Amino acid sequence: MVDRQTALEWVAAYERAWRAPGTATLADVFADDITYRPSPWVEPLHGLDALGAFWESERTGSDESFRMTSELVAVDGPTAVIRIEVHYGDGEQWRDLWIVAIDAEGRCRTFEEWPFAPEQPDGH
């Protein structure tokens, strides 16, 4: 069972891991057998090695400039839904919904991201 505080602490740990050089800190944030889906439309990644390779391919480096804010939307059992907003130094911005299941050790076992960028069609 995850509570609001645990979910918010996990988000802070995720951001610290993204800002850290390399991928060694991923083991502090994600379970060894993590299932990580960076979009609802792609097959999930499985395990820390696959996640580490993905992270390194997605970021420009641990020193990239960005500001991240989060809002906890819901918590139910081990699952939290979090609204994330990221503004990068180059002007790129994203609004995401994260659906995460957090284990008793405070590490994420499943992660699903629903990313939205301003240039995406709004469905109208």
pLDDT at 113: 95
- Please, what are the domains in the chain? 4-116 (3.10.450.50)
**pTM (two decimals):** 0.90
Tokens of 47: 């395990």
Q: How far apart are CA 19 and CA 97, in angstroms?
A: 20
Instruction: Specify the length of the chain in residues.
Output: 124
Condensed to tens digits (0 to 9), the pLDDT of residues 30-76 reads 999 999 999 999 999 999 999 999 999 988 777 888 899 999 999 99
Is 76 buried (19+), middle (13-18) or exposed (0-12) by CB count in 10 A? exposed
Q: How far apart are CA 44 and CA 110, in angstroms?
A: 9
User: What single-letter amino acid sits at 115?
Assistant: P
Tokens of 51: 């996640």
Q: Which helix (H) or strand (E) holds 97?
A: strand 93-102
